[in-house]
Amino acid sequence: MNIDTIKNGYVIDHITAGNAIKIYRLLNLEKLDLVVALITNVKSNKTKTKDLLKIGKLIDIDLDKIAFIDPDVTINIVKNNKIIEKKKLELPERLINVCKCNNPRCITSTERNLDQIFNLTDKENKVYRCNYCEMMLEKDKFLY
């Protein structure tokens, strides 16, 4: 398989296998006019397999969205065929408009113009709670 190198853009590396498609969707990359390579189940020395995303253009990307899905990724910023910066991510303390509260009684269900805000309450277990109703965000069941 031949995947072209990136002249300018991002390489999102060390994505937990199966999470690249979630990041792709959460960043709405399918709606943008740019080249994106989504590579799954790549052999890894650290883990058995990993995913990779290559974005062929320098665009604004929401690092909090990526860190929410997979905080252990590495973001390589590429300019003129060279990696100019590597970013390690951490779980964000606060998520704003990354996902929606699942609680039908939450004020965000009726007040559509309110920001969807979640606060990190347990870093070790990656638990977020709604800023308004305190509902725990179930990571595998979140809406976006």
Q: In what order do the strands lie in the sheet with 117-122?
A: 94-96, 117-122, 127-130, 136-137
Alpha-helical segments (H) within 11-113: 20-26, 63-69, 107-110
Q: Does residue 3 surpass a pLDDT of 70?
A: no
Cα(94)–Cα(137) distance, integer angstroms: 12
Higher pLDDT, 4 or 13: 13
Alpha-carbon torsion angle 81, 40, 124, 132, nearest 10: 90
Per-residue model confidence as pLDDT tens digits over 100-127: 898 999 999 889 899 999 999 999 888 9
Structural domains for the chain: 9-88 (3.30.70.140), 94-141 (2.30.30.20)
Cα(92)–Cα(44) distance, integer angstroms: 26
pTM of the model: 0.83
SS3 annotation, 1-12 = CCCCCCCCEEEE
Q: Does residue 2 surpass a pLDDT of 80?
A: no
Per-residue model confidence as pLDDT tens digits over 49-75: 999 999 999 999 999 999 999 999 999
